[in-house]
Structure 1
Amino acid sequence: MSPALPNHVAIIPDGSRRWAKSKGLPPRVGHEITFFETTPKLIRCLLTAGIHTITLWAFSTENWARSAQEVDWLMQIFVRFVDETRESATADAVRVRHIGRRDRLPVELKRALFVAEESTVSGKRGDLNIALDYGGQDELANACAKYRAHACTKPDSLSSYLFTAGQTYPNPDLVIRTSGEQRLSGFMPWQTAYSELYFTRVLYPDMSEADIHSALDWFSTRQRRHGI
């Protein structure tokens, strides 16, 4: 791994519905392009570039507030996405991990995540985190509850109760957010304390390999002092 490259890249894939609207298409089409065309392409691009850990924020805790119809077909999309990702991850020796709550997910999706995690556990090339029903405030609240229940006393041990605990690279070096929004919206508040933040106006379904390389090139110019 070149020192100029991040070990862990996290993506907030924003703009799927706006992309569909701009083309006069139903919102579902935007999400289908996002998860079945754009995301597989970008994951392969990042792996080829030498990135070890990739995190994709697929569904936030706030997304449950969307219409029941939209949530329903999003869950259907996620089942297929996880299944197809498992197949490609197995071929690429990549370990798939779910981060977020699992208790509220549909049974079929929970089953797909379990199979994906179990069947790729020996992957050594890298890690792919799929953030489903993930919210940073929710993560911290749950971590604090577990921390208190175990009567921990070390100030830094809270991180061992986060969803990313135990991973080789638990903290993103680079966070990419698409569609022009310039905020994290509660994404990994603990883990992103020293992340470099890259914002692009490109709507996620239009994100290309060239856009990824532009983000990586930008990262290579940053001087990361970590408060020093």
Structure 2
Amino acid sequence: MLRPFWKRPAAVPPAAVDKDKIPAHIAIIMDGNGRWAAARNLPRSAGHREGARNFRRIAGHCKDIGVKYLTVYAFSTENWKRPREEVDTIMGLFREYLQEAAEELKTHNIQIRVLGDLTIFHGELRRLIDEVQAMNHREGALIANLAVNYGGRAELVRAANAAAAQKQGPLTERDIEAQLYTAGQPEPDLIIRPSGEYRLSGFLLWQCAYSELYFTDVLWPDFTPEHLDAAIAAYQQRSRRYGGLS
């Protein structure tokens, strides 16, 4: 029997997830699409397309288990440095998903939000973004934040400037928080990074102060709902003290 020419991800045993302690907000750095494609002798675009499909799977699972907010790092401000063909592929996938946002909301009650510096987008893509941002979700929706053209340092500079423009005198943490892209949302309880990298790459730098971090060698396109459950189970075993003793 012929064997596959790539290494399949190891099977993940069912994780013991406490349904009463599901994190309200999970953030994921979707990393490893290019390496996934390279391992299969496929173009990087194939990895990004499979990664986009996997986002739908993971978002659906988050909705099913009761996660309220899901934020994914889709495209950083530094990613514009990548080859033009790769950038065009990612932006094309972004456009496709925005075009499906109304159906996602209607069928799955998943509300899409776009976080990042949106001033760079024009024409049809900006129109789609604005339409998605204006949609109203039903009660119980999963809010899925797509961080696109996002940089954590740039977000903090933007927030500080906006807060200073609205208030004379010393700024408070609340002043800054009110100007973040995630204003009005809880900070992420759990941040997950697949692909074997152990860094945040500028993702949610303010919001992650007390987030629990979970790293795995699994590449993003191979990251299954079972892997997510394993991350949640690990999170549930931790004691979150927020700087205190208990």
C-alpha offsets along residues 101-133 of structure 1, whole Å, 9 cap, x if unaligned? 1011242222222222223x2332231111110
Q: 1:180 aligns with which of 176, 192, 196?
A: 196
Instruction: Please list every run of 5 or more consecutive structure 1 residues that lacks an aligned counterpart in the other structure.
Output: none
Question: 1:103-118 alignment to 2 at 5 Å?
Answer: 103-118=119-134
SS state at 1:103 partner: helix
1:4 alignment partner AA = K
Q: Distance in 2 between matches of 1:27 and 1:75?
A: 14
Which AA in structure 1 matches 2:126? K
Q: Is the 8 A contact 2:105 2:137 kept in 1?
A: no
Alpha-carbon distance between aligned partners in 2 of 1:80 and 1:189, rounded to the nearest angstrom = 28
Aligned residues: 224
8 A contact 1:95–1:124 mirrored in 2: no
2:184 is matched with 166
Please name the residue that 2:12 is paired with.
none
Per the alignment, in what secondary structure is the counterpart of residue 197 of structure 1? strand
Correspondent of 2:225 among 203, 209, 212? 209
Q: Provide the rounded CA distance (Å) in 2 between the counterparts of 1:76 and 1:118.
A: 21
Structure 1 segments, 4+ long, off by >3 Å, are none
Structure 1 residue corresponding to 2:43, chosen from 26, 34, 55: 26
Larger radius of gyration: 2
State the match for 1:155 in structure 2. Answer: 172
1:123 is matched with which residue? 138
Find the aligned partners of 2:211 and 2:177 in 1 and give their Cα distance: 16
- Percent sequence identity is 37
8 Å CA contact 2:70–2:143 kept in 1: the answer is yes
For structure 2, the residue ranges without an aligned partner over 5 or more in a row are 1-17
TM-score normalised by structure 2 residue count: 0.86
- Aligned position for 2:239: 223
Distance 2:96 2:115 in 1: 18
Please state if 1:72 is matched with 2:83. no
**Inter-partner Cα distance in structure 1 for 2:103 and 2:58:** 16
Q: Match of 1:212, as an amino acid?
A: L
Give distance in 2, aligned partners of 1:90 and 1:53.
17
Q: CA RMSD in A?
A: 1.6
Q: Is the 8 A contact 2:49 2:93 kept in 1?
A: yes
The aligned counterpart of 2:34 is 17
